[in-house]
Homo-oligomer: A and B are copies of this chain.
């Protein structure tokens, strides 16, 4: 431990932190016949849809299975459109095998499909496939870009602006790279909206001790679930333009918008609409993933990023850096291809694909509503609407005696709360302190992924626990 990399020591990742390790221990006790006041642990700590019972999209799995075992291309039980997709992907692979390394940027034809998808999503804003990089989940892309951008010493060290609350991949990567974390606070009283004045404040304060070079945005928000308005995105991009910041837009929840008055706007499209002065100058990387949306294919570790306005020399450095790790998993690339190139209306799988997609997204929208309704009715819990993504991040009021007890135990009050919740009910959620929160406020993050029946039980147990804890 003495000689361990101090930047590794500084890393924290609450989503799989101590509370989740504790949940695993309790699960083992239950499996071995031990007694607890509940019969199962419900893991609402991580956005892992299939683990919570969500079924895979049939067409996606058909295409990946066909790519994996091409003898199935002769099987009459697979639809023609799935076979066409698989054949096309295999033609892009060396030796027509998923077992070959792809180019470090990913398979060419998949990059082309992604560019076409982005153009359609952004209503015609051009996308150059040579700016598309497949990644090992979105996390890999985010860390790769940060790795490029961190430099300098002392006051010249790169500052990375991140929202608070944030997804802790960001703080972990910043710690590991030894960059400076610059917090800007989302406005909880305004449904976790991003206020550009707060960006200015954070930037000016940070300038005293580092060089802010990067602005990270998560939209729809994780853990906060807000969906940014177009006006807000314009303000953010204008600010980035003025201050010459590299914008990292984490848009992995772009398909997960539930609130009827909200709409997903990509940073790229908004930048384009602001005119060439902006579109030709602001450096932007946008990230997407197979793990979220309606597919929830976390295990395949698929994802991509689109980079805009990267200096060609820097882009060459990025390619070089990625080439050391050879390539992202090709099965995950194939899964990504299905998401950006789904069945068309004249294809045999169209109806089933859309039925399955609508079913997943419809259920998520219902569960987002249910979560807000039940939690916001609990005295001592304040829960904003879950406009998008897959999480609620309610504020919990923790009485002073519990705060003192936590201090005496050397832990955060919300950690004490979540540990008690786990021990009394078997529900595993993550303390707000793992994501960041305003001093003196306490929260937890829970996913909305359990089945509707299970989610209802879970929320009612949280309600009863909270009332009891508070008393």
Contacts and interface: CB of A to CB of B under 8 A. Distances in A.
B48 A94 contact: yes
B323 A51 contact: no
Interface stretch (A293-301, A339-347, A355-363, A379-387): A293-301
A452 to B, nearest CB: 16
Interface stretch (A133-141, A274-282, A370-378, A434-442): A133-141
15 contacts: A1-B314, A13-B320, A16-B323, A16-B326, A17-B323, A50-B97, A50-B99, A61-B69, A68-B331, A72-B72, A99-B297, A100-B298, A101-B299, A136-B301, A147-B176
Given A8-B147, A99-B298, A176-B321, 15 more contacts: A4-B151, A5-B150, A13-B323, A17-B320, A50-B93, A50-B97, A51-B95, A54-B95, A61-B69, A64-B68, A98-B300, A101-B298, A301-B328, A329-B332, A331-B331
A109 interface: no
Contacts of A328: 301
Contacts of A300: 98-99, 329-331
A69 B324 CA distance: 32
Interface in A187-224: 213
A65 interface: yes
A285 interface: no
Contact of A148 (B8, B12, B17, B51): B8
Contacts of A1: 311, 313-314, 317
Interface string A27-49: 00000000000000000001011
A401 interface: no
Count class of interface residues, chain A? 35 or more
Contacts of A50: 93-95, 97, 99-100
A127 interface: no
Interface in A87-117: 93-95, 97-102, 104
Task: In the A-B complex, list the 7 residue pairs whose CB atoms are closest, starting with the nearest.
Answer: A51-B94, A299-B330, A65-B69, A50-B97, A16-B323, A329-B329, A51-B100
